[in-house]
Structure formats: C-alpha cells, structure tokens
Structure 1
Amino acid sequence: MISAANQQEYYQALLDKKSEYEGVFYVGVKTTGVFCRPTCPARKPKIENCEFYETAEEALLASFRPCKRCRPLSHPNQVSDLVRLLVDAVEDNPEKRWTNQDFQKLSVDASTARRQFKKRFGMTFVEYARARRMGLALKQIREGDAVIDAQLSTGYESSSGFRDAFSRIMGAAPTRSGHHHILKASWLDTRLGPMMAIADDEALYLLEFVDRRGLEREVERLRLRTKSAIIPGYTAPIRSIERELGAYFDGKLTEFKTPLFLLGSPFQQEVWDQLLRIPPGRTSSYGEIAAAMGRPTAYRAVAQANGANQLAIVIPCHRVINTSGELGGYGGGLSRKQWLLNHEKSMSAARKEEY
C-alpha cells in the first residue's frame, strides 16, 4: 500500500512530468480507465481521480489498460520506428553521405529525422551519420591505412573538409591522432529511465542517468582528463553492463563483474572501494565510511568523493545515507535512490529465504 505522503509526492511528480520517477510508480486514472507513466504528456487528472501503483502489473490487475500516448509497458524513451529505420540504413552503408534525395527514397521527412535524432541522441541525424563515418575512418587510420585512403573511403573528397570534420567530432586532427584514445557512448534503457554508458574496449568509464543534472559537464570533463574522443557506439564492456543491468533490475544480480576504469584521486578511489564493500540491502553513513578508512573526521571529504562517483548503481553511492537515517543526496534523484534501496532489500530478503 502506497502511503498518503507518497501519493502526494507522486502526484506532484506527475504534474511536473519528472523523468526521475520513471519506473518508481504508475498512475491509474479512474475517469478514463487507463494507467500511465509519470512523464505522460496527456492532460493531468485531479488527484482524487488517481490511483498509484508500484508496478504495471498492479495497475493491470486493478483493471486499468495501458495508455496509448505514453505506452507504460514499453521502455521510457523507446527508440521510434523512424530512428530505428535510419540507424539500420546507416549500418547498411556507413560511408554514405546523406542528401535530401536519400530521405525521399525512404519516404522520410528530413526535418522530422533531425528532430527525433536530436531528442534521442543529442545530435542530428546528419551528425550521427558523420560520426559513424568518422569512427570507421579512425579505425582505418589506427590499423595503419594512410589518411588519404581513410578520407576517400569515408566519402570526403576534400582533405580540409575531412580534417575539419574529424576535429569537430574527435577533438584532434587526423595527423595528430596516432595515439588518440577513443571512448564510445551508448544509450541504455532501464527500469528507472535511460542511462548513458561510456567505455573503451577494456573498461567502463561512466554510467549515469541521462537526466542527471550536470551530465554534460561530466562527459566533457571525462573527455578532457582522458584526452579522448567520445563517439556513438558499443564496446564489450557496454554490452556487458547492459546485460548486467537487465539482470539487476530483474532481481537476479547483486554483484557487477563488468571491468571498471576509476578516474579519481587516491582518496576518491579509497572511498569508492569502501562503497563496494557495503552489502546489497544495507546502508552506511559518511561518518562510518570515514571511520572505516581510519579518518573519522574526514566525513565531509567522503561525501564529496561519494558525489564524484561516475558509475551509478555499479559503485553503490546510493547505499550511503545521513547519520540521522535520512536519505541524503543522490545525483539520480531521491526517488530513484529510495527505489534502489527497496529493490536491494527485497533481493537480499529473497536470497535469505532461499537458504
């Protein structure tokens, strides 16, 4: 049973269309007979006409049918058919330079494609296709092909145009990129909303909720500190964390095995190591972590290091609460933090029953 206080909180989140509540609750609307996700664009009902549920199954069992506008049984921000069509078209011919005629052949409106890609990936379709071409060109250069060969094979007739485009996307000109580090970024749909994963071929560098405040600065800081280019794509660690997140949200996994790259000071890394020692279903305070490190007065520094964690869920900063027992802060939003703690307590309890 959802408490009256939580119902009021959820109703306000519904009015504000807060994406951080995705997966935390669903709302059944008694006047229409449908149930929706928190970010549904439909006109908002009065609170007396709302019933709140923790799962879609509960809403279905209460006789509500899924809303056709927000599709609560699908992943939030699910890829549209148009985006999927164009992504597939790029993969079929990644060296292609797109023109309006190409869109017409697919019966696609170029401006619609631009808007949908901008909303989903933070870049237009043309920028997406160009980044894909550049990724292939970089691979050729890293494998020893001459710059001119990479330029021509990826559709650039002008060497200056190729160099300028390369610099915009990669952050360095081709002739200076011999040891340029490449990171790939992917969008992952989860129960609690979309996340961004950034990794190279060896390890995961960043995992954050897409709507986290300041995410753009985090990504830029990561790019500068690692002297890397960040382009769209998948790597083995991203595939790994995608599988593990699915198992985690299904209640089947409590320990992540995906290799991690921890980019922080020795003190920060010591704090993050302590976070990894907090068992699922348990919590700790900043003071307790500081004491465990042998620095009982450093709880404020511990709090700062906790907030600097760039690997949400995997390094469980959500398991750290205030000494008073209050949740404290969380970059992904307090509603997500509470959901994660409840989820892990449920998993821990289920495992104890098995034994």
Structure 2
Amino acid sequence: MIHNEVRKVEYYKALVEKRTDYEGVFYVGVTSTGVFCRPTCPARKPKYENCEFYQTAQQALLASFRPCQRCRPLSHPNHVSDIVRLLVEAIEQNPEKRWKAQDFRALSIDESTARRQFKKRFGMTFVEYARARRMGLALKSIRSGEKIINTQLASGYDSSSGFRDAFSRIMGAPPTLLDDNRILKADWLDTQLGPMIAIADENELYLLEFVDRRGLEREIERLRKSLKAAIIPGRTEPIRSIEQELTHYFDGSLTEFKTPLRLLGSAFQQLVWEQLRQITPGETHSYADIALALGKPTAYRAVAQANGANQLAIVIPCHRVINSDGKLGGYGGGIVRKEWLLHHEKQGGSPCEKST
C-alpha cells in the first residue's frame, strides 16, 4: 500500500477527475465498500479517508479488496463491453449492411447506447465505424479491379456523388485518385497503461501513440496528408508484431523492439531518434547529452523538438530523455506515464515500487 501522503493526494485528485493517463499507475481500494477500482471508474467517488492506493491489482487483492464490477480492474483499461462485441461481430457477419433503427431493436440494443460506447472505445460512433468498414471493403474491391459503379452499389450508395463524398471523408481521397501503395491500416491496442493506436502498412509500423494523447487527431491527419494515404480500420503483420512485443515489454520480458519501423522525419530528426534507441533501458539522458553524442552540442533545443515529434511511443524511447537538472520534462503520453515507464525499466520490468 502507498503511504506517501503527497502521492495519495495526487492519486485521489486523478481518481476524482477520472484521468486516463493514470491507468495502470495505481489502483484504489475503497474501505467502505471493500472493492478496488481503476482510476477511471465511473462509479461515485469515495471520500478521501476511505481510499487506500496500490501500485498493482495483486496488492489490492492481497489486501482483501475484491474487483469492482463496473470498471473491471482485472481487465484491460478499456474493457470491450458485450454491446460493442456483439455489434462488431454483427458487422463482420454482414459488413456491407446499412444499419437502421429496427436492426438495433432486433438485437435488443439501444441505439444511443451503441453510439456512446463505440465513441468511447474507438473514437467514432457505431454508424461511423460501420461506414469505415464498408469503405475499407470498397477500397479492397476497387484495388482488385472492380468497377467503381459496382463497388458504389455494393456499398449501399445509390448516388455516385454521395459515394465519392463518403469515400473521401474516410479515406482522404476520392476512389479514382487513390494510390495503391498508400494504404495504411489502424488498430486499437490495449496496454497496461491504457489503449494505444497503431498505424502500419503491410511491412512497417508508422505510428504508435496513446489514444488520449493531446493532438492525436491532428497527428494522424498530418500523417495521412504527408503520405497522401488512406487510413482504414484493420490489422497488418507489423501491428500484430508490436502488440505482442508490447505485451512482453509490460510483463518485463522484453527490452528491445524488433518490429520494422518507418521513420518519417528530417535527416536530423532521424539521427535523434536513432540515438534514443541507443539509450539502455533503465537509464536516462538529457537533451544536451543527445546533442553532444550527435556532435552538435549547441543543438539541444532542436533535439528537444525532434524528441517531441516522435510518433512511435515506447518503441522510440523518448521517455528516457529528461532535463539537464534531472526533472522529467515533457512527454506526449503524460508525465505520469513517463515516470511509470522509467520506474518499470529501472526495476527490470517488475511492478513499480515508487513510494510505499
């Protein structure tokens, strides 16, 4: 159990605010109910004096707390609800279907609930998810040589202009202008510190970020525009690879990532990112250290900018770079996650023992 009073006050504030960047960092045992929860639990918040904080779910269990049935602290941070699972399966059974109100009623699902839960899980409503899935199939059909008019009708669009508009909104270009070599797929990965999004083609990983990172939508849009690429829901071999490697990283059995990467940046940025990969897990370097190692001792500000431009969180370990005065500095995924990652690596992958 955590006894440090400053840390407890910080964690209680995060609990009240349902801070997603504290996922996996602590669990709270509620003495008045006997349950323990994750930081983002939707239940009514307990009083401060009724809270005990733990670094792992195992510690909370050993302290005789039982897992909360609402936030399910023993599952992934964004546990897939039965409604989401059922609807995703229904889409896969008939991905070209245009959903109507009676289709939800037939499954005894409230349409507004489906919208809300899909928005929380995927960052898009159920209708947007189903449309993106249809458009992904349309793109595959077009690439295989199918006539656009046939693809349009199969996707449920009677109007060619409506089909082109919908296609362009999701894919970033009308169907006649897409480059076969610019198709990226995006998938959601659950991790111990919260959900991440991975974007890759069939050969390399382009982006890996925490879903709640500020400005993520703009980051993805810049990626799409710079590559003139379509980004559609899906999974490729690099995404499967990085998901497996992240699992091993968080359980402490992996320190070196081998998933093939595509580094999109200037020559200087790529030099900085390569230098970051040379930092041994459990160690930290300052921006000035990186600049010196590159033979550009006055370029520490440029190093900091390159560090911030990294789009491959954890894999390109920008979390291992700190200020010269020893302070943690910034981190796109949040300072709390940066601190957790550094402690995790210093402990050799074992659960963090910050303040007990």
Same fold (TM over 0.5): yes
**How far does the alpha carbon of each residue in 1:328-349 deviate from its partner, in whole angstroms, 9 at most, with x for none?**
1111111111111111112279
Output the CA distance in 2 between the equivalents of 1:298 and 1:163.
Answer: 47
Are the aligned partners of 1:280 and 1:348 in contact in 2 as well (CA < 8 Å)? Answer: no
Shift of residue 229 of structure 1?
A: 1.7
* Letter in structure 2 aligned against 1:13: A
From the superposition, tell whether residues 248 and 32 of structure 1 become closer, same or farther in structure 2 (CA, over 3 Å): same
Counterpart for residue 344 of structure 1:
345
Partner of 1:65: 66
Aligned to 1:275: 276
CA displacement 1:281-330 (0-9 Å, x = unmatched)? 11111111000000001111101110111110000000111112111111
Alignment of 1:29-108 (within 5 A): 29-108=30-109
How many pairs were matched up? 350
Which residue does 2:215 correspond to in 1? 214
Structure 2 counterpart SS, 1:337? helix
Please give the per-residue CA displacement for 1:88-142, whole angstroms capped at 9, x wherever unaligned: 1111111212222222222222222122212222222122111111111111111
Structure 1 CA distance, aligned partners of 2:104 and 2:28?
Answer: 39
CA contact (8 A) 1:77 1:194 kept: yes
1:348 and 1:72 mapped to 2: Cα distance? 20
In the other structure, the counterpart of 2:122 is 121
**Residue in structure 2 matched with residue 152 of structure 1 by the alignment:** 153
How many angstroms does 1:181 deviate by?
A: 1.5
What secondary structure sits across from 2:156 in the alignment? coil
Distance in structure 2 (CA, Å) of the matches to 1:21 and 1:349: 18
Contact 1:281 1:348 in 2 (8 A): no
Q: Where does residue 265 of structure 2 map in the other structure?
A: 264
CA contact (8 A) 2:200 2:206 kept: yes
C-alpha contact (below 8 Å) 2:72/2:79 kept by paired residues? no
2:10 & 2:319 partners in 1: Cα distance? 20
Question: Aligned partner of 1:324: which letter?
Answer: D
Q: Distance in 2 between matches of 1:220 and 1:128?
A: 18
Q: 1:178 to 1:70 in 2, by over 3 A?
A: closer
1:47-92: per-residue Cα shift (whole Å, max 9, x none)? 2222111000001101111122221111112111111111111111
> Whose RCO is larger (CA < 8 A, sep 6+)?
2
Cα-Cα RMSD: 1.7
- Structure 2 SS opposite 1:253: coil
Aligned equivalent of 1:26: 27
Residue in 1 that maps onto 2:354: none
Contact 1:142 1:178 in 2 (8 A): no
The more displaced of 35-44 and 282-291 is 35-44
Whole-angstrom CA distance in 2 between matches of 1:15 and 1:114: 25
Contact in 1 for aligned 2:22/2:193 (Cα 8 Å): yes
Matching residue's letter, 1:344: E
Give 1:76's aligned amino acid: P
Deviates more, 1:152-161 or 1:317-326: 152-161
Aligned to 1:295: 296
Post-superposition offset of 1:193: 0.6
Bigger CA drift: 5-14 or 271-280?
Answer: 5-14
Q: Which segments of 5 or more consecutive residues in structure 1 lack a partner in the other structure?
A: 351-355
Give the stretch that moved more between structures: 287-296 or 7-16.
7-16
Identity %: 74
For residue 172 of structure 1, what is the aligned residue in structure 2?
A: 173
CA distance in 2, matches of 1:323, 1:73: 38
Aligned to 2:164: 163
Equivalent residue for 1:199? 200
Paired letter, 2:334: G
Q: Provide the rounded CA distance (Å) in 1 between the counterparts of 2:42 and 2:113.
A: 19
Give 3-state SS (helix, strand or coil) of 1:128's partner. helix
Which one-letter code corresponds to 1:184 in the other structure?
A: K
Residues in 2 aligned to 1:112 and 1:348: alpha-carbon distance in whole angstroms: 39
SS in structure 2 at match of 1:201: coil
Q: TM-score, normalised by structure 1?
A: 0.94
Distance 1:13 1:209 in 2: 18
Unaligned runs of 5+ in 2: 352-356
Question: Which deviates the most, 50-59 or 156-165?
Answer: 156-165
